[in-house]
Each structure stands twice: as structure tokens, then as C-alpha cells.
Structure 1
Amino acid sequence: MEKKSSGNRLVTESADHLRDLILARPAGEQIGSLSEVAAELGVGIVTVQQAARILEHEGLLSVKRGPGGGYYGARPDHEAIERAFATYMRVHNIGYREAFELTVLLDCDIICAAARELPKTQLGVISRLIERLDNIENAEDCIRFENDFRESLFELFERPLLELLSHVAMQLYTAQSDPAIFAQAVPLQEWKQGRRRILDAIHCRDEELANFEAHRFRRMVLRWSTA
């Protein structure tokens, strides 16, 4: 039993080392042949093969055979990660409402970045979002707006964690297909007023005001979630 445990630990450590090698290089670059990787890690060929299977499952490694073959670094498919994350949350009974709350908690950073760095040529995007608020009448409209609001900012600013969580939240909502989940958590008029104040601050390119309004909206969400 102790020998088996030691072997498993060696495979895990080798996988960790190999993962570091892959992430330190551009996707698609050759890491080395089986024997070269074994020499790099200081372990046997069988251990490398077992570690490689772990990283293949993670989407970080591909194996090519024949001339020029060997181990090549890769990057996981975004949609696969989102599906896995959404499944994990559903297994642990984390629903759309909780995912939405977490997303809003992470919003402050990208909202401030938008107010600080938004190019003048993109102000029309914010103006159109402000105009849409007048036509929002129900929870379905709110959810679509929340998604479009963030997608508009993701196109301008890279925030991978927030983008992942936002996409997962939409997957959870789609899976549950119940607008009442949002309606029960968020009073419509308060939500519209909060989002309008944030968008106005971004449009004015007032970072201090945007930060204030983003945190005020976050406090409202926390109040809704604990009511």
C-alpha cells in the first residue's frame, strides 16, 4: 500500500512539473519526446505516460506519433471548462441566483476599467445599453441585459475569471429555465436604477463615480440575497 501511495505521489508531482513546463511555453509548442520529457522530469517512462494522461484529460497536452512526434502543449477548450464548471456547481446545488451574486461581486474591477479606459469610439455601445434599460419589463429581459452588458465589456477588457463565471451563470439559468429565480432575488426597479447609474458613470468616464456605483450595486445584491 505504501509503495502504491508513493507511486501515485510521484505521478502527481510529475504531472505538476509537466504542467508548469507546458504553461511556460506557447500553446502548440513541442515539449519533447517521451524519453526527453522523462529525462527532464527525472522519472521513468511509465511515470511520464501516467502523468501525460492526466494532462491530456485537462486539455493541456496532445501526443503526436511518427516523425516529429512527441508531447505538445495545448490549452483547454473554453466551452469544455465552462460546462465542467457549471456541472460542478449543479452537483453542489449552486444555482443561477448564487452564480449571479458572485458575478456581481466581481463586476467592480471591470466597471472601473471601463470608466477609466473606454475609448471614445466605444461610447455608443454604452449609450445603446442605457437606452435598452427603458424597455426592460421582466426578469427575462434583465437576464439578457446582464449577459449583454458583460459581453460588451469583455470585448474591450480581458477578465477571464469574470467571463467564465458569467458564462457559467447563463448556463445555469438556461438549465433551470425559471425566470422567477431572478425575479425573486432582484426588485426590477432597483436593479434598473442601479445599472443605469453605473452605465452613466462609465459613459461620463468618471472612474471614481463608477467605483462608487459598482460597490453600491454590489451592496444591494448582498441585501437582496440575504433578505
Structure 2
Amino acid sequence: MRESPKPDRRRLVEASADRLRDLILASAPDTQIGSLTDIARELGVGVVTVQQAARILEHEGLLQVRRGPGGGYYGKRPTEASLERSIAGYLRVDSARFRELFEMTSLLECELAPAAARSRDADLKTRLERVLAMLARSDTIESQLAVEEALHDVLFRMADHPLMGLLGRVTMSVYKASPAPSMFLDQDGIDAWRAGRRRIVDAIQSGDEDLARFETVRYRQDLLVRLRRLHGEARI
């Protein structure tokens, strides 16, 4: 069994990874950053340290090591799919992080809805109408999740916020894999969920940014109250 690097060694590797990451992000994707010896000379460290730092960045999807003629270290950019897998895996390891992300994405939605209200895309507004039709007949966890996925997909397109879209997809994938019960499973909860979502969609459809923000904040507050009750806590 290999021993973990000593603290000083680990800090050197992490510092080298930070500097190598900066070099990669300062260049266009698929640009050759240099050879192993070139990078070791640039960073002022040994080749073993560079190799260990490179493994970190390969895992992050930022580096590709090519061997043979024309080989070397090439900068990359992680795909959305790889980012989603990494974040989702991290959240599943630490379930408390999922709750943090859940709260954060509901806060981001308070800005997402007003941005969506500014959209004049007729096709996307038609898709929102279809979401309302799904909402009316959704009374199970699976159908609620289908509505949430469809709603967020349209809102992300209307608002054109890729980062929010990424966080929303990760949250949904982790929630679907979680055994936690729905916050809107009883009839009172289902009615509140439907009413809240309908008010938000109606505000967006009307193009009223202030009303869209108000209704989303109102919905988020109800979400947090229900989340607190679900976990039996006194405070969020």
C-alpha cells in the first residue's frame, strides 16, 4: 500500500497543480502547454511533482497527456457532462452538500424567473403552457420530478444561464437518486406545489419581472419551511 504524500510534499503538488491550471486556462483548449521537462523547468519543480500535479488536472478534465511523436501536455476544458458527474458524485458522498445546493439553486431561481419573464420567444412560452398541463395531473414523486425537469429546462433556455442550468440538472439528478421523501407528497403539499408553480409560470408568461421575482421568493420560503419540517429542525 502506497503511503500518502507528506504534508509539505502534498502542498508542493497542490501548488504546482494550481500553477499548471493557470497555464492551461490562460491558453486556448487543445494547446500544447509543454513537455514534462518543459513544465518542470517552468514551475521550478521536479518531474515527479509535475506528474502528480498532472494526475489531479487529468481527473478534473483540464489536461491530456499525449505520448509519442508530437506528445506532451495539452490543455482541455471539461465537458458539461463530466462536470455534472463530478459534482453529483461529490454530493452523493456528502448528502449535506445536496441540501446546500438545493437551497442555493432555489435562491438562484429567484433571479432566473425574472430573467425568463424578459424572454419574447413564442416557442418557449408555448412549452411553458405544456408544463402547466403536466402540472395539473402530477400527483406522484415521479410526475412531480418530470414537471420540475421540464419547467427548469424551459426557464434555463428563456433566461440563457448555462451555470444555473448545470446546477439545476445536478440537483435534479441527485434528488432522483435520493431515497428522501418528497416535500409535496401529501395533498396539502401537492396543492401548495401546484399553486406556487402556477403563480410563477403565470408571472413569467405575463412578462412581469417584479411579479415573477415576488412569486419565486414566496415559493422558496415555503420550500424552506417544508424542508425544515422534513428534517425536524428548528431552524434552516
What is the TM-score with the length of structure 2 in the denominator? 0.81
Equivalent residues in 2 for 1:129-208, closer than 5 Å? 129-176=131-178, 180=182, 182-183=184-185, 187-208=189-210
Distance 1:224 1:186, change over 3 A: farther
Equivalent residues in 2 for 1:61-76, closer than 5 Å? 61-76=63-78
SS in 2 for 1:31: strand
Aligned position for 2:233: none
Aligned position for 1:84: 86
Aligned match of 2:49 in 30, 47, 50? 47
Distance 1:185 1:21, change over 3 A: farther
Aligned position for 1:108: 110
Q: CA deviation at 1:110?
A: 1.4
Q: Which runs of 5+ in 1 are unaligned?
A: none
Q: CA deviation at 1:74?
A: 1.4
**Matches of 1:41 and 1:98, distance apart in 2:** 37
Q: Where has structure 1 moved over 6 Å in runs of 4 or more?
A: 95-98
Over aligned residue pairs, what C-alpha RMSD do you find?
Answer: 2.8
SS in 1 for 2:77: coil
Aligned position for 1:7: 9
Counterpart code for 1:54: I
SS in 1 for 2:138: coil
% identity of equivalent residues: 47
Higher relative contact order (CA 8 A, sep 6+): 1
Structure 1 residues 21-67: Cα deviation after superposition (integer angstroms, max 9, x where no partner): 21223322221222332233233333222211211122210011222
**Matches of 1:166 and 1:133, distance apart in 2:** 19
Structure 1 residues 47-99: Cα deviation after superposition (integer angstroms, max 9, x where no partner): 22221121112221001122222111112343343333333333333497775
Query: Aligned pairs, how many?
Result: 225
Q: Does 1:60 align with 2:57?
A: no
SS in 1 for 2:216: helix
SS in 1 for 2:33: strand
**Matches of 2:43 and 2:193, distance apart in 1:** 54
Aligned position for 1:31: 33
**Matches of 2:10 and 2:36, distance apart in 1:** 19
SS in 1 for 2:73: strand
Say whether the 8 Å CA contact 1:96–1:181 is kept in structure 2: no
SS in 2 for 1:173: helix
Q: CA deviation at 1:154?
A: 2.6
Which range moves more in the overlay, 62-71 or 128-137? 128-137
Counterpart code for 1:79: A
Aligned match of 1:217 in 216, 219, 222? 219
**Matches of 1:90 and 1:196, distance apart in 2:** 31
Q: CA deviation at 1:180?
A: 4.5
Distance 1:21 1:6, change over 3 A: same
SS in 2 for 1:136: coil
Q: Which runs of 5+ in 2 are unaligned?
A: 230-236
